[in-house]
Amino acid sequence: MTAVEAEHVSKRYGTVVALDDVSMAFADGEMFCLLGPSGSGKTTLLRAIAGFVIPDSGSIRIAGERVDDVPVNKRDIGMVFQNYALFPHMTVRDNIAFGVEAKGGSRAEADRKVAEMLELVQLPGYGARKPRELSGGQQQRVALARALVTRPKVLLLDEPLGALDRRLRQVMQVELRQIQRSVGITAIFVTHDQEEALTLSDRIAILDKGRIVQVGAPQDVYERPATGFAAQFLGDANILAGKPDGQGVTLTDGIRITCAGATARVAVRPEKIIVAADGDKLSGELINRLAGTIVQAVYSGNSVTYHIACPSAGPETLLAFVQNRSGELLAPKTPVTLAWAASQTIPLQD
């Protein structure tokens, strides 16, 4: 069942196209991520679903009903913002109860629902506190409880974890996913954080310049990006270009990169590449090979990212991501061979 649907939605701000004929369906109970750079249209689409933005054309449906003329407070949505937007003068209890009481619910009903929500977000006993007495993660939990307390049809999240530090953000990613699954609500969230998108979502839509570039499950979009933009925005990717030859691409110096299908451009993820120094043996299945020289080694503790100059690939250095198993680094100017399997070569549509 489709919980939310955008049909041919467009929005302009003067000469700037924020959304360009966007059509997208969000399934019941799924966690869906809108991912893209600043100005890609992801926040505009979320705000159009919420009712904060009125599209120039197209329509929005929630649970099968058009809501184009329905005000924000009548759309039966919950919303969580990056800055939490809690009422600072109210207690946690009153913040969460606000939506219930605004809809005419009794104090007893509000108290019961607040207690349920505090249990859900693991903050029992915090009802009497003020937002300033809470940590960032606790404030985010309260904001989530407030959004869910009225049991809305859709939960919209605008960079919900962006204000948290990295460690707390990782913890909250797990908790947010668990809460969404336990409630069974359709959730649509906006982020520019690639790791967050891969961790949280059932499906991802990558947007650029107001258009949808690709939609799919996180693993599908990452492993098989359709375009160079998708490949380089969701993770890192090395792009190689040349002449299509039926089973891949032939680079300008005649070296052939094999993949499934003819294409003028291919991508390979840095972690798929084996970096072999002189004397290292390579598996026969690693048929794609380029000679190169180490330019720089970026040490990250559990891994090393090598920047490698490969004349066959052009002036841009290639990236190779290697797990730190030995603790030793290849020095700059070290000759190496980059090797990877044909199945790890991604044909691009652009």
Does 256 share its domain with 333? yes
Give the structural domain span for 201. Answer: 2-228
Q: How confident is the model at residue 57 (pLDDT cuts 50, 70, 90)?
A: very high
How many domains in the chain? 2
Please determine, for residue 1, whether its predicted confidence score (pLDDT) is greater than 80. Answer: no
3-state secondary structure of 113: helix
- Domain end call among 228, 249, 280: 228
C-beta of residue 320 within 8 angstroms of C-beta of residue 308: yes
Q: Using only the alpha carbons of the chain, give its radius of gyration.
A: 24
Same domain, yes or no, for 11 and 155? yes
Q: Indicate whether 149 and 219 sit together in one domain.
A: yes
CB proximity list for 56: less than 8 A, separation 6 or greater: 10, 11, 12
- Regarding whether 181 and 52 lie in a shared domain, the answer is yes
Percentage of residues in the chain having pLDDT higher than 90: 77
pLDDT at 236: 94
User: 3-state DSSP call for residue 182?
Assistant: helix
Please tell me the distance from the alpha carbon of residue 31 to that of residue 186, in angstroms, as a whole number.
6
pLDDT for the residue 105 = 87
* Cα 200 → chain centroid: 8
Task: Output the six-digit token pair for 299.
Answer: 């040490």
Q: What's the pLDDT at 233?
A: 93
pLDDT of residue 296: 96
DSSP string covering 201-212? -SEEEEEETTEE
Average pLDDT of the segment spanning 118-144? 92
On whether both 216 and 281 belong to a single domain, the answer is: no
Query: Tokens 């809501």 label which residue?
Result: 67
Sign of CA dihedral 141, 190, 233, 213: positive
Q: What is the largest CA-CA distance in the chain?
A: 77
pLDDT of residue 164: 79
pLDDT in tens, 259-309: 987 789 999 999 999 999 977 888 889 999 999 999 999 999 999 999 999
Tell me the CATH number at 335: 2.40.50.100
Does 91 share its domain with 155? yes
Instruction: Tell me what pLDDT residue 325 has.
Output: 84
Residue 346 belongs to what H/E stretch? Answer: strand 346-347
Structure token digits, residue 239: 């792009």
The helix or strand, by DSSP H or E, that contains position 292, with its residue range, turns out to be strand 288-299
Q: How far apart are CA 28 and CA 226, in angstroms?
A: 26
Structure tokens at 124: 């029992």
Structure tokens at 224: 């098989």
Q: Which amino acid is at 237?
A: A
Q: What is the pLDDT of residues 224-239, one digit of tens each?
A: 999 999 999 999 999 9
Give the CA angle between residues 191, 196, 197 to the nearest 5°: 70
* The one-letter amino acid at 349: Q
Residue where one domain finishes, among candidates 202, 228, 254: 228
**pLDDT reading at 165 higher than 90:** no
Tell me, what CATH number does 175's domain have?
Answer: 3.40.50.300
Q: What is the mean pLDDT of residues 183-188?
A: 95
pLDDT band of 171, cuts 50, 70, 90: confident
Mapping DSSP onto H, E and C, the string for 41-95 reads CHHHHHHHHHCCCCCCEEEEEECCEECCCCCHHHCCEEEEECCCCCCCCCCHHHH
Q: How confident is the model at residue 348 (pLDDT cuts 50, 70, 90)?
A: very high
pLDDT at 292: 95
Is residue 61 located within the same domain as residue 166?
yes
Same domain, 281 and 191: no
Residues 218 and 110 both lie in one domain: yes
Average model confidence (pLDDT) across the chain = 92
Q: Given pLDDT bands bounded at 50, 70 and 90, which one contains residue 103?
A: confident
**Final residue of a domain: which of 175, 203, 228?**
228
pLDDT at 244 over 80: yes
| Top mean-pLDDT range of 14-28, 134-148, 182-196 | 14-28
CA distance 51 to 61: 11
Regarding whether 19 and 134 lie in a shared domain, the answer is: yes
Q: Which residue has the tokens 């979009």?
A: 221
Kindly state whether residues 56 and 135 are assigned to the same domain: yes
Which among 64, 94, 76, 66 is positioned nearest to 155, based on CA atoms?
76
223 and 258 within one domain: no
